[in-house]
A and B are shown apart, each in its own frame.
Chain A
Amino acid sequence: MKLIELLVRLVVGGVFVVAGALKILHPTAFVNDIANYRLMPHDLINMLAITLPWVEVVAGGLLIAGIWKRANALLITFLMIVFLVAIGQALYRGLDIRCGCFGTVEARRVSALALAEDAALLGMSLWLFWRVRD
């Protein structure tokens, strides 16, 4: 079971570190991706684009490193819910936009598949939150 926990931490943490780092590389593109979701007040979009990728990288990195695992699992669970809502509402409203999930390296659009991946990650982070003890 310890091994499974480690594997799940590596997967969830790894996805977050990579996704965050790729967004840090292209802040302007990330601003556009956020804007296209039409969820955020316009003035706050840049602030979110500046800070969110770093939360992803730090929380993912700490989860992998095994520092404050439960707190990081909680934070990641919260972010996954936010991402799920963002993608879900875009699909519901019929927005044909780029996912922006992994910065500019993927041209992927928001889709049911992206939603399913997010749901899987949410499941894993919830499981970690339930299982790990610091």
Chain B
Amino acid sequence: MRRTVQRALVILFASAALGLAFNAVSPRSIRYVTPPKAVLQPKDTVTLDEAHRLWGDGTTFFLDARAPADYAAGHIANALSLPAEDFDEHYPQVAQMLTTDTAIVAYCDGTECELSHELTEKLREHGYTNIRILMNGWTSWHKAGYPTDTGKQP
């Protein structure tokens, strides 16, 4: 039994080391210590009701910050996919449809989700000024029974 536990620990630490090494060279590497949570001002967010109203007006672009597979599985109707994780790859396609003063609502999924914050930061670096976040976006929108869609971005 003792030998088994020792071996299990060897596997545990060796694979953890592999993960650390891989993260050091991966193009999708993340920070070792989780960055502090973004502190959001009320002006940086929209409520679900407000988001739904903006959606109905048709003048606000909804951007889905999650991975493309999540977007394909279900997203807010008419939302565009712009994954925070692969921003540089997807940005040029989406940028054609936006100007820097376009009204944007960014969302991801879950109350602890930081992807929409990351996306917002990246867009601000590109000069966008009118972005707000819908917290717990996908889940709250979906639960409210508001219009959704499935499938990849054309």
Asked, given contacts A57-B15, A107-B73, whether A50 binds B32 with beta carbons under 8 Å apart, the answer is yes
Number of residues from A at the complex interface, CB < 8 A: 44
Contact with B along A33-53 (1 / 0, CB 8 A): 101101000111111011111
Which stretch from B22-30, B53-61, B95-103, B122-130 is at the chain A interface? B22-30
Asked, given contacts A32-B115, A42-B34, A134-B4, whether A72 binds B19 with beta carbons under 8 Å apart, the answer is no
- Residues of chain B lying within 8 A (CB to CB) of residue A54: 15-16, 18-19, 22
- Residues of chain A lying within 8 A (CB to CB) of residue B34: 31, 42-47
Q: Is the CB of A29 within 8 A of B85?
A: yes
- Residues of chain A lying within 8 A (CB to CB) of residue B144: none
Q: Is the CB of B4 within 8 A of A58?
A: no
Does B14 lie at the interface of the complex (its beta carbon under 8 Å from any beta carbon of A)? yes
Q: Is the CB of A71 within 8 A of B7?
A: yes
Please report the C-alpha to C-alpha distance between residue A21 and residue B75 in the assembled complex, in whole angstroms: 25
If over half of A's interface residues share one DSSP class (helix, strand or loop), that class is named, otherwise mixed; here it is helix
Q: Is the CB of A71 within 8 A of B4?
A: yes
Q: Is the CB of A50 within 8 A of B23?
A: yes
Q: How large is the interface on B (under 10, 10 to 19, 20 to 34, 35 or more residues)?
A: 35 or more
Asked, given contacts A28-B28, A28-B85, A46-B31, whether A75 binds B12 with beta carbons under 8 Å apart, the answer is yes
Does A84 lie at the interface of the complex (its beta carbon under 8 Å from any beta carbon of B)? no
- Residues of chain B lying within 8 A (CB to CB) of residue A50: 19-20, 22-23, 30, 32
Interface residues in chain B, defined as those with a beta carbon under 8 Å from any beta carbon in chain A: 4-8, 10-12, 14-16, 18-20, 22-23, 26, 28-34, 36-37, 66-67, 69-70, 73-74, 84-85, 108-115, 118, 139, 143
- 7 nearest CB pairs, A to B: A71-B7, A107-B73, A54-B19, A36-B110, A35-B112, A58-B15, A51-B16
